[in-house]
Amino acid sequence: MTIGRHNDLTDVAGVLVGHHQRTGKGWLTGTTVVLPPDGTVGGVDVRGGGPGTRETDPLHPLNMVSEVDAICLTGGSAYGLDAAGGVMSWLEERGRGFRIGRLPHHVVPIVPSAVVFDLGAGGVFTNRPTAEFGRRAAGAARAGPIRQGTVGAGTGAHAAALKGGIGSASVVTPNGITVAALVVLNSGGSPVDPASGRLWGARYGVGDEFSHLRRPVGREVTAFRRLAFTPPTLNTTLAVVATDARLTKPECTRLAGAGHDGMARAISPIHTYTDGDVCFTLATGAHELPDDAPDSFIRPAMTRFAQLTTVIAAAADVVARAVVHATLAATSAGTMTSYRDLLPSALASTTR
pLDDT tens for 216-273 read 999 999 988 888 766 667 789 999 999 999 999 999 999 999 999 999 999 999 998 8
Q: In which order are the strands placed within the sheet that holds 16-24? A: 16-24, 27-35, 71-74, 113-115, 53-54
pLDDT value, residue 290: 81
Residue 132 is given by DSSP the state: H
Q: What is the tally of structural domains in the chain?
A: 1
Q: What is the DSSP string of 326-338?
A: HHHH---BTTBBP
CATH number at residue 145: 3.60.70.12
- What is the rounded average pLDDT of the residues 29-56? 96
Q: Where are the beta strands (DSSP E) in 39-139?
A: 41-46, 53-54, 71-74, 98-99, 107-108, 113-115
In a domain, 352, yes or no: no
| Domain boundaries, position 224 | 9-347
Helices H, strands E: what count in the chain? 6, 14
Whether residue 350 is predicted with pLDDT greater than 50 in this model: the reply is no
What does pTM read for this prediction?
Answer: 0.94
In a domain, 4, yes or no: no
Helix (H, G, I), strand (E, B), or coil: what is residue 169?
A: strand
In a domain, 293, yes or no: yes
In a domain, 3, yes or no: no
By the 10 Å C-beta count (0-12 exposed, 13-18 middle, 19+ buried), 127 is classed as buried
Please check whether residue 311 is in contact with residue 246, taking contact to mean a CB–CB distance below 8 angstroms.
no
